[in-house]
Amino acid sequence: MIVVLIGYMGSGKSTIGKELATVLNYSFLDLDDYISDKENASISELFKTKGEIYFRKKESQYLNALLDSSKDLVLALGGGTPCYGNNSDVLLNNLNVKAFYLKLSIPLLATRLFNEREKRPLISHLKSEEDLLEFVGKHLFERVQYYHKAEYTINTDLKSRQDVLEEIVTDLI
Ligand code: S3P
């Protein structure tokens, strides 16, 4: 089985994913880290030197390759992965995939992301927390239709990491 974690930047996909993999005794992969390794460049460098379209093509290509692997895996996607090309169909149509949308409210996302925006090319240009709040609001409005295609949605706002993990594990059994 491949447990796929979907959600906006800063929603905790990698943090939760690593812990979930330990609980399930599965391998863990972060799609961004995988792309960086394969392309020998950070995500910011890839955006800067090759552009977003190149990144989206590689993202799709590596997603497909990973979904073809037969081993048990927890896979944290990038925030944009389900929103481009036919990625959401590829995820939906794969019988080995269980997809979870980690949902977090816009103010919490903006607060979390503000201090980490440098390493995220889509938001690194935003100067104030208000600008970021507005950006996240609009961006999420465009993306939420793709996130909601996941079989499960976990509202993480008022939950501890342990609660989120337990909810996912319960949904899996
Ligand atoms: C992106 C999210 C990032 C990374 C890239 C683009 C997006 O991943 O893939 O910067 O389009 O939302 P995280 O969600 O892991 O930050």
Per-residue confidence (pLDDT) for residue 69, from 0 to 100 = 82
Query: How confident is the prediction for the chain on average, in pLDDT?
Result: 97
Cβ contacts of residue 105 below 8 Å, gap of 6+? 157
Per residue in 131-148, pLDDT (tens digit) is 999 999 999 999 999 999
Percent of the chain with pLDDT over 70: 100
Residue 160, phi-psi category: left (phi > 0), alpha (psi -120 to 50), beta (remainder): beta
At 60, phi and psi to the nearest 5? -65, -45
Residues in the chain: 173
- Return the pLDDT at 76: 98
Q: What is the pLDDT of residues 19-40, one digit of tens each?
A: 999 999 999 999 999 999 999 9
Q: Determine which helix (DSSP H) or strand (DSSP E) holds 125, and give its type and residue range.
A: none
What is the Cα–Cα distance from 129 to 127, expressed in whole angstroms?
Answer: 7
pLDDT in tens, 7-20: 999 999 999 999 99
Q: Whose CA is nearest to atom 2 of ligand 1?
A: 79
Distance of CA 97 to the CA centre of its chain: 15
CB of 7 sitting under 6 A from ligand 1 = no
Task: Evaluate if residue 70 carries a pLDDT over 80.
Answer: no
Mean pLDDT confidence for 102-113 = 96
Ligand 1: does its nearest atom lie under 6 Å from the Cβ of 98?
A: no
- Interval between CA 31 and ligand 1 midpoint (Å): 9
Burial classification of residue 153, based on how many CB atoms lie within 10 Å of its CB (0-12 exposed, 13-18 middle, 19 or more buried): middle
CA distance 74 to 18: 8
